[in-house]
Structure 1
Amino acid sequence: MSRHEKHKSHRVGWLRAAVLGANDGIVSTASLIIGVAAASSTQDNILLVGVAGLVAGAMSMAAGEYVSVSSQSDTENADLALEKKSLEHDFEFEKDELAEIYESRGLDPVLAVQVAQQLMAHDALGAHARDEIGISTSATAQPVQAAVSSACTFTVGAALPLLVAWVIPGRFLISAVAILSLLFLALLGGLAARAGGASMTIGACRVTFWGALAMALTAGVGRFFGVAA
């Protein structure tokens, strides 16, 4: 019976954007709510700030991811265009260059030339994109996918502490938002780590640590300015 390994690297693009969006949504919105609540604001003001933070954050995440990944895509396309032009003008040089790459990876010189010839006969640009430039079809930049993924997951993440602030008002608001948001972060980190084939414990701990630090700092800022006012 043959065995097929289930690799996780093809998930890197969307997983990174999704985790970043959800994590930022929880951390930024929870921190914003806690900071404003620590300044002794009313629940209406706290919810207003939270909703504004959700909308602004989702749009910021979408725009940032789109611009960032588009820049990566532009660079990849420029490299591919350059390689395509080189293949058209000096095919033999490109074949020798590819053979040298395979030889440096451990192939016999004669076999390296044969492999380069066969791969280039099948898909010359694809062979050079993969083995010379390092562009893989499974990791190709996709700006729209990254933007939508980040915006949607940010919205979901931000909605969680906002919902807690709406359901639990009063003197329990800060502690409820902090505790439940940290639980959300731990769950997110664990699930993201599992999806990527890593340790769920490590994934949960690292996002929880940074989330707790962000909330503590914003609570301190809110408390300071609330007293100063």
Structure 2
Amino acid sequence: MTEPTHAEAHVSSLGSRLNWLRAAVLGANDGIVSTAGLVVGVAGATDDRAALLTAGLAGLLAGSMSMAAGEYVSVSTQRDSERAALAQERRELREQPEAELDELTELLRERGLSRQVAREAAVQLTERDALKAHARVELGIDPDDLTNPWHAAWASFLAFTAGALLPLLAIVLPAAHWRLPITVASVLAALAGTGWSSARLGSAAAGRAVARNMGGGALAMAVTYAVGALLGAAGV
């Protein structure tokens, strides 16, 4: 068994990029839906541009910071777990190298290699880089490419912000009588795009994903608008 070929490395890199792209699409989708629900709800209560802008900016900043913080904590926890697993593997390799060599041999056999070939591959991989071999085969971790919590946090922040800007601009830029229809139309169009993109990235049927995305967004806007209208009528 040899180190990953150029083609295998390319496939791995492509998979990583697709995961990031999928996360970006979902983050933008969250920004669209949550901010649209917020500004449409406020629009149900008032047509004051300053109030709409204030609510939209507050929702954008709160949502993007929340997404970034949550992603940072989540990925940091994952990275800590990966580092702990690597530290344990490093200790086991130092204290019981023969047992670890046998374990690597068995793992390679489970992947379809004969015992002789698996043993030879395990020996060669161990001589080249024992920790990297065990990390990849046993743990499914690349020690040279651990997840970065700051990258994940910034990606989530930017994706949410990009999505949230659309309903915010749509509700504050047009004239008062055009705000709601333009916002609803632009949000539904954007949700159709993110639904289609997420489905294509996940190799799923696009029609259902688009319908679910648009339906969920429409329901969110309808509910928040109704609540805003009721509160506005009641003078709250």
**TM-score > 0.5 by shorter chain:** yes
* Structure 1 portions without partners, runs of 5+: none
Equivalent residue letter for 1:99: T
Deviations 1:93-116 (A, max 9, x none): 111111111112221112111111
Aligned match of 2:3: none
% of aligned pairs identical? 47
Match of 1:161 among 142, 156, 167: 167
Kindly state the Cα deviation for residue 196 of structure 1 after the two structures are TM-superposed. Answer: 5.9
Kindly state the Cα deviation for residue 227 of structure 1 after the two structures are TM-superposed. Answer: 3.6
Give the whole-Å Cα distance in 2 for the aligned partners of 1:32 and 1:137. 43
Aligned match of 1:175: 181
Q: Normalising by structure 1, what TM-score?
A: 0.87
Give the whole-Å Cα distance in 2 for the aligned partners of 1:51 and 1:207. 23
Q: CA RMSD in A?
A: 2.4
Match of 2:228 among 203, 222, 229: 222
Q: Counterpart of 2:189 in 1: which secondary structure?
A: helix
- The 5-angstrom pairing of residues 62-211 of structure 1 reads 62-136=68-142, 140-194=146-200, 201=207, 203-211=209-217
Report if the CA contact (8 A) 1:120-1:127 is conserved. yes
Report if the CA contact (8 A) 2:32-2:167 is conserved. yes
Gap change, CA 1:168 and 1:140, over 3 Å in 2 = same
Deviations 1:69-113 (A, max 9, x none): 111111111111111111111111111111111112221112111
Report if the CA contact (8 A) 2:29-2:194 is conserved. yes
Q: Is 1:26 aligned to 2:32, yes or no?
A: yes
The number of aligned residues is 226
Query: Which stretch shows the higher mean deviation, 51-60 or 14-23?
Result: 14-23
* Structure 2 portions without partners, runs of 5+: 1-6
Equivalent residue letter for 1:76: E
Kindly state the Cα deviation for residue 147 of structure 1 after the two structures are TM-superposed. Answer: 0.7
Give the whole-Å Cα distance in 2 for the aligned partners of 1:220 and 1:123. 63
Aligned match of 1:42: 48
- The 5-angstrom pairing of residues 53-64 of structure 1 reads 53-64=59-70
Query: Which of structure 1's runs of 4+ aligned residues deviate more than 4 A?
Result: 192-203
Gap change, CA 1:206 and 1:140, over 3 Å in 2 = farther
Gap change, CA 1:119 and 1:203, over 3 Å in 2 = farther
Kindly state the Cα deviation for residue 158 of structure 1 after the two structures are TM-superposed. Answer: 1.0
Q: Counterpart of 2:118 in 1: which secondary structure?
A: helix
Q: Counterpart of 2:187 in 1: which secondary structure?
A: helix
Report if the CA contact (8 A) 2:26-2:194 is conserved. no
Kindly state the Cα deviation for residue 224 of structure 1 after the two structures are TM-superposed. Answer: 3.4
Query: Which stretch shows the higher mean deviation, 192-201 or 138-147?
Result: 192-201
Give the whole-Å Cα distance in 2 for the aligned partners of 1:206 and 1:120. 50
Q: Normalising by structure 2, what TM-score?
A: 0.84
Aligned match of 1:14: 20
